[in-house]
Amino acid sequence: TFKYIYYAHDITYFCPFTGALRGTVMVTNYRLFFKSMDRPAFMLDMPLGVVSRVEKIGNASTRGDVSYGVVCKDMRNLRFAHKQLEETIKKSIFEVLMKFAFPVSNGLQIFAFEYGQVFPENGWKVYDPIAEYKRQGIPNESWRITKVNDHFELCDTYPSTLVVPVNIPDEELKRVAAFRAKGRIPVLSWIHPESQATVTRCSQPMVGVNGKRSKEDEKYLQAIMDANAQSHKLFIFDARPSVNAAANKMKGGGYESEDAYQNAELVFLDIHNIHVMRESLRKLKDVVYPNIEDSHWLSNLESTHWLEHIKLILAGALRIADKVESGKTSVVVHCSDGWDRTAQLTSLSMLMLDGFYRTIRGFEVLLEKEWLSFGHRFQLRIGHGDKNHTDADRSPVFIQFIDCVWQLTRQFPAAFEFNEYFLVTILEHLYSCLFGTFLCNSEQQRLKERTVSLWSYINSQLEEFTNPMYVNYSNQVLFPVVSLRHLELWVGYYIRWNPRMKPQEPIHQRHKELLAKRAELQKRVDELQREVTNRSVSSSSERPSSPTRSITPVQTFV
Amino acid sequence: MFSGKPVKATFKCYLPPAQTDVKTSPIEPPIKLEPRFLPGEIIVNEANFVRKCISPDNGQDDLWGRLICTNFKVSFIPQEPPPKQKAQLSHLLLGQHDISLTCLEQVVTVNDTRGKRKVLGSNKKLKFNPAELILYCKDLRVIRFCFDEAGPESAKKVCLAIAHYSHPADLHLLFGFEYQGLRYHEYKANPVNGSDPKGGTQIPFFDRPSDWDREIKRTGASEWRVCSINEEYVISHSLPEYIVVPVSLTDQEVKQYSTSFSDGRVALWCWNHRNGSALVRMAGLKDPLAQKKPVEKILTAITKSHRQRQEVILSDLDKSLPNIQDIQSAFVKARQICTLDPFEESEERWLSAIENSRWLEYIRMFLKHSAEVVYNLEGRNVSVVLLEEEDRDLNCVVSSLVQLMLDPHYRSLNGFQSLVQKEWVMAGHRFLDRCNHLKKNDNKESPLFTLFLDCVWQMTNQYPAAFEFTEAYLTVLSDSMWIPLFSTFLFNSSKQCNDLLQEFAKNKAIPQDENHTVFFPPVWNWSQQFSSRDQTLFNNPMYVGKGAACVQNGEVKTFQRTKKAFSSTMRIPSTSHRNGVRAEEEHFHRRGSLVSELKADFSPVKDESPSERFFRDWFSRPADQQGLLIPLVLPSHVVLWKLFFLRWVPEACIPHGGPATVYHKVSQLVDEIETLQSKLRQYKGASPRGTPVPSSSGPPKDQTRMYFKATSPGDSPASPDILNSSFPFSPVGNLCRRSVQGTPISKFLNGAKTWLSTETLSNDTF
């Protein structure tokens, strides 16, 4: 399925770490491949999907060389140069990249639709909403599964399967939808197995400057509260800073007034919008790429505010988890549209609350559910194959989420079944356009059968992605310390291009080794045990006194 | 729980305390806690009805009790014993609420009416009756007592007593002398019950020629010899009595040259590389303008002692590293940031505050400089002389770091302890002055040893399988500096130690022994401080030592860092690789290179120096845990040592999380492996004839090496409840201002002031 497109000699790649390298460039419909025979041999292999922008660098040379910069979405920039066009080179690398790195802008197909790799498992089957809700104990006496959105008529950015309070009929859901931005009504994300406190998600209410109210919406939130007998309160977590929420009234949106919603308490979580986050990551890239400066590292990092944003998101999720777990109170989470900050908050709080999501398959389910099916606009936020790199809709919302997950794995290194490489791999394929998982904006748009799921690839080599230190304390709720004392920059992702940053997982490595050693010893003990048993059986009827295995292995995943 | 009060959630235990706990554990009658005293310890002053502040907002968690000042410690005896702390490191000499007087950094009283603070020194007057006493400790604890119910006079008296007794006028008055003297006689009278103070430690003290000889042999330093010219400290008061010098120097020459050096500190051999290069430390000349001849003579001798007669490199640490005052002020700043109260205050500008302290910057400088020395010894095969004016501070740090990087022996527990003994204690690091035990001269105070321990921690953090000991060990070692019972950290030099101990022996009627340390033991006999079970917390389960050979027939042979990088090469299934790319690769070929031309114009990369190339080469290969180890000194890889700096801060404690969870898991696994190995040995013993048992690689016979044991079938899986990021220490009992459980975020929620009040209320409902 790879098509050879372009190849040229005498290309110079300016590696920011080792200097200029001369070699050959090859471009396929999937990747750019640079190979240098200089010592030491060097290879660069990059999916075209990571290209954000390609530009000619004007003042490159006095000798008539042509120079190009490639700005990537994954925290690096590349620079190439070659001699002025010769007869033999029909097209410049610039033109090739401009065309094939941006298939959507050029009327071409994204590579995922051509990628025909067959894996033993079909990753699209990982998430079955009915099965997941059943795992949570849904339907029950308070919550039902509705098919009102089967054909995406209620809300075209929601999945077809939704869970709503039992006593709200489908007809009323439509009137609630009219009061919520983009029709994204409050629906259940997670229910506490004991207290029945729930995490529900939605978009902002269409209150507007005049303070419009909706009886149906008020009744609906009351129904959510009533579904939990443990508490006579409902917490509404508005992810935005209160100023932003208020400003949304000018556009017809806004937030729930506590007068209209009896027994509800509104909390603003002060998380900033997609534009602020984009700017923060841009600054971070400046600080970490290509080299980090020896002095002022921490204050430079501080000036990007990246970790502060991470902190606020985690803090919000922690408060949601705390309300649900410790307060036994149901919560409603929303931001403006309910597909960016809301997805971050619900999925992170669910990760804290429910050990299932901390397994590899559970995490896949979590992503499929809270991000993909509930319409996080991946196409818009990443801009797959789109050359319009200045698009204001692009934003690293999902990267931030994965960063938050990484922070949790740092604080609870034994609580997650997956390792750092799993998270890095997810982010690599966020851009690569090899798999269909992160294409499109919603479940309605997603053409699953025509692409391969990332989970097909991951689940067919689970060992690569498994944390050998994982201990399944499934009932443990994780309450991270959300303080800059414990938040760190994810060096293994943001600075991974720097060859001085050796990725080290020595603990994991050592642990795997110990596991192998244990297996070996266990085998030998078993063999000897058998031998002794055989011998004693043959020589006398006496039985050996020590049992074969006096120890049960620590739960491990090799 | 014990007093029958309603069970209440605390921040430590997030969920309401499980009622089952009460049912399953037999209800113990409340124990009246009595103060525990060591031999020779006497009460100086005390106050009753004192409140130890734990939660300043409502005071609910505060403890009431007796505050006692003895000649050894400040002790707080709570009226009701707190629920037992499971799996918390318990100190044999100090209780949970005790602080040794030597550990007090500052004693501060707060005035009742105006909240005026006063720092108390020795023999100070106090014009007001203190409402509060705040103890700032050297181990970074901050402890507050309130006197609202205590008699004002007794409160005042106890405060003054604490201030006075924490400023001893003379070294003799440190409690250790009293204690060890009595202990000696006790031990002599009843040797069965008393433990041998030196028992168990096999650490060379480097106070006798044989210790040095062994070290010469071990490192293959055949061109070096032990010289006893400094016996009775005739040439130098701060050098050990036995030093190692080039064989080409006669005793007389050593004596002659030594007069030119500061305190007679002629070159002191530290270590030899197998390639012949030596690490040597040396003081500056007494008179910098004097003839350089003695230095030249010594350098020539060092050159002669190199197998290849290689040149010698002088590394002047005074010129390239921060001085002791810089280090002190960096540490004070870092400590302030980490103990700042309230917690949120330092949160907003945490990163830049840490940077501004310069502590991490200094750590990097020391690591980097040491790595450069390593490059010279290993990469260039030249001997290095570390030069420092007095050769008693910076040289200690750098020489020991260099040896840790080069020699795996020092990464074992015993090796590490002998390294400290050799490069710090015997080399004459002024522990008395740098620790400021007498609080007499603040200018001389400097946390050089703490800096060193932090550097070591950075290396253990980067190479978690290379060191036999844990970070808990390093932390406990740093805490031991503040307990005045061990000879290790009390003196400025071995001479001072000897002199004082002789005097002391005379006073205490202790017969002179050839081994004075017997009655004033070093810190290395850890059973003085901890039970043998607690000492297992020092053992790093991940350590790949010489004894820890890997599977012989299995896949894993040696421990190597895999080069499995999250690299630019996306790893997609290999089949698809073949489909697309491989065929074309064959066509790749190259023509004449333009790179050299282009480099001048374009390359942003400066030419690599030989040392940079050496480091790059080293980092591009998998690290051998039993070989050379070079730390990464990038600012992104030198980080705050959280256990050391944050362990007492309840707000920073991650419940059920932190590195302890990994430690727990790996310890269990290793314990299981050791059990299997011992079983194999049993089989081998039981079946002498021809069973196919390969010889065991010699794991320790001691079955209790790991703190956490593998679970046996009957047990429920070990509860992680005891684990948190402060483990094995506990921040419980320290002041905690956490407004929202686990989340110091009120600062960030200015837009939602109304929320805060209700949140706090709702937290109180269960």
Q: Which long-range contacts (CB under 8 A, 24 or more apart) does A171-175 make?
A: A172/A216, A172/A219, A172/A220, A173/A146, A173/A148, A174/A148, A175/A214, A175/A216
| Length of chain B counted residue by residue | 766
The pLDDT of residue B517? 59
Residues from chain A that touch B354, judged by Cβ atoms under 8 A, are: 298
Residues from chain B that touch A529, judged by Cβ atoms under 8 A, are: 683
| Whether A497 contacts A290, CB under 8 Å | yes
The pLDDT of residue B93? 92
The pLDDT of residue A38? 75
Average pLDDT over residues A110-130: 94
Task: Using pLDDT thresholds of 50, 70 and 90, give the confidence band for residue A525.
Answer: confident
Task: Using pLDDT thresholds of 50, 70 and 90, give the confidence band for residue A476.
Answer: confident
Cα separation values, B653 from B15, B676, B744, Å: 15, 36, 12
Please report which residue ranges of B240-306 form alpha helices under DSSP H. Answer: 251-258, 293-304
- Residues 60-79 in B contacting A (C-alpha not used; CB under 8 Å): none
- Which has more pLDDT, A64 or A488? A488
Strand, helix or coil for residue A56? strand
Q: Hey, is the C-beta of A418 within 8 angstroms of any chain B C-beta?
A: no
The pLDDT of residue B599? 31
- Is the domain spanning A123-507 CATH 3.90.190.10? The answer is yes
Instruction: Check CB contact under 8 Å for A412 and B672.
Output: no
Interface test with B, best of A320, A425, A485 (most B CBs within 10 A): A485
Q: According to the annotation, is A526 in a ligand binding site?
A: no
Chain center to CA of A108: 27
Between CA B542 and CA B705 the distance in angstroms is 12
- Residues 650-669 in B contacting A (C-alpha not used; CB under 8 Å): 651-659, 661-662, 664-666, 668-669
Distance from CA of B226 to the nearest CA of A (A): 41
Residues from chain B that touch A19, judged by Cβ atoms under 8 A, are: 595, 599, 603-605
Between CA A351 and CA B276 the distance in angstroms is 57
| Whether A358 contacts A351, CB under 8 Å | yes
Ordered mean pLDDT values, 10 residues apiece, chain B (766 residues) = 39 36 43 78 93 75 90 91 66 91 94 82 82 94 90 91 91 86 76 49 87 96 95 95 96 94 94 95 87 89 92 94 97 92 80 96 98 96 96 97 97 96 96 93 94 97 93 97 94 93 82 66 92 92 66 35 34 34 30 29 60 89 88 94 94 90 90 87 65 42 72 55 86 62 36 30 29
Indicate whether this complex's ipTM tops 0.85.
Answer: yes
The pLDDT of residue B719? 56
Instruction: Check CB contact under 8 Å for B14 and A326.
Output: yes
Q: Which two tokens stand for residue A111?
A: 């590579």
- Which has more pLDDT, A512 or B299? B299
Determine the angle formed by the axes of helices A306-325 and A274-288, rounding to 10 degrees.
130
* Helix (H) / strand (E) containing A69: strand A66-72
Average pLDDT over residues A376-400: 96
Strand, helix or coil for residue B29? coil
Average pLDDT score, chain A? 90
| Whether B743 contacts A318, CB under 8 Å | yes
Closest to A551 (Cβ–Cβ): which among B635, B662, B672? B672
The pLDDT of residue B58? 63
Average pLDDT over residues A522-549: 68
Q: According to the annotation, is A340 in a ligand binding site?
A: yes
The candidate with the shortest Cα–Cα distance to B488, out of B528, B517, B530, is B517
What confidence tens digit (pLDDT) does each residue in B422-467 have? 999 999 999 999 999 998 888 999 999 999 999 999 999 999 999 9
Between CA B527 and CA B523 the distance in angstroms is 9
Distance from CA of B117 to the nearest CA of A (A): 29
Between CA B642 and CA B55 the distance in angstroms is 23
Between CA A95 and CA B54 the distance in angstroms is 68
Instruction: Check CB contact under 8 Å for A270 and B749.
Output: yes
For domain A4-101, give the fold. PH-domain like (2.30.29)
Residues from chain B that touch A233, judged by Cβ atoms under 8 A, are: 762
Instruction: Check CB contact under 8 Å for A514 and B669.
Output: yes
The candidate with the shortest Cα–Cα distance to A266, out of A249, A242, A230, A248, is A242
Q: Catalytic site residues of A?
A: 335
Query: Is the pLDDT at A531 greater than 50, yes or no?
Result: yes
HSE, side-chain direction, 13 A CA sphere, residue B632? 18
Between CA A7 and CA A28 the distance in angstroms is 9
Average pLDDT over residues A249-271: 94
Distance from CA of A300 to the nearest CA of B (A): 8
The pLDDT of residue A288? 94
Q: According to the annotation, is A339 in a ligand binding site?
A: yes
What confidence tens digit (pLDDT) does each residue in A160-201 have? 999 999 999 999 999 999 999 999 999 999 999 999 999 999
Cα separation values, A119 from A126, A128, A422, B28, Å: 13, 19, 18, 61
Look up tokens 């002022």; give the residue: A296
- Domain positions in chain A are 4-101, 123-507
Cα separation values, A268 from A5, A318, A344, B81, B512, Å: 52, 14, 15, 42, 74
Closest to A483 (Cβ–Cβ): which among B463, B711, B744? B744
Q: Which residues of B712-732 are buried (b: 16+ CB within 10 A; e: fewer)?
A: eeeeeebebbbbbbbbbbbbb
Distance from CA of B61 to the nearest CA of A (A): 20
Look up tokens 């053409």; give the residue: A447
Locate the chain A residue with the closest alpha carbon to B652.
A481
Residues from chain A that touch B356, judged by Cβ atoms under 8 A, are: 299
Chains A and B form CB pairs within 8 A to the count of 365
Which among A16-30, A382-396, B705-719, B727-741 has the top mean pLDDT?
A382-396
What confidence tens digit (pLDDT) does each residue in B194-243 have? 445 455 567 899 999 999 999 999 999 999 999 999 999 999 999 999 99
Q: According to the annotation, is A202 in a ligand binding site?
A: no
Which among A74-78, A443-447, A553-557, B183-187 has the top mean pLDDT?
A74-78
Between CA B434 and CA B454 the distance in angstroms is 16
The candidate with the shortest Cα–Cα distance to A117, out of A461, A558, A441, is A461
Instruction: Check CB contact under 8 Å for B579 and A2.
Output: yes
The pLDDT of residue B651? 87
Q: According to the annotation, is A337 in a ligand binding site?
A: yes
Query: Is the pLDDT at A402 greater than 70, yes or no?
Result: yes
- Torsion angle, CA of B82/B83/B87/B93, rounded to 10 degrees? 30
For the question of whether the overall pTM of this predicted structure is more than 0.90, the answer is no
Residues from chain A that touch B140, judged by Cβ atoms under 8 A, are: none
Distance from CA of A419 to the nearest CA of B (A): 12
Instruction: Check CB contact under 8 Å for B602 and A12.
Output: yes
Interface test with A, best of B676, B712, B721 (most A CBs within 10 A): B676
- Residues 195-254 in A contacting B (C-alpha not used; CB under 8 Å): 233, 241-243
Strand, helix or coil for residue B764? coil
Closest to B556 (Cβ–Cβ): which among A307, A488, A516? A516
Between CA A76 and CA B264 the distance in angstroms is 57
Residues from chain B that touch A12, judged by Cβ atoms under 8 A, are: 594-595, 598, 602
Q: According to the annotation, is A90 in a ligand binding site?
A: no
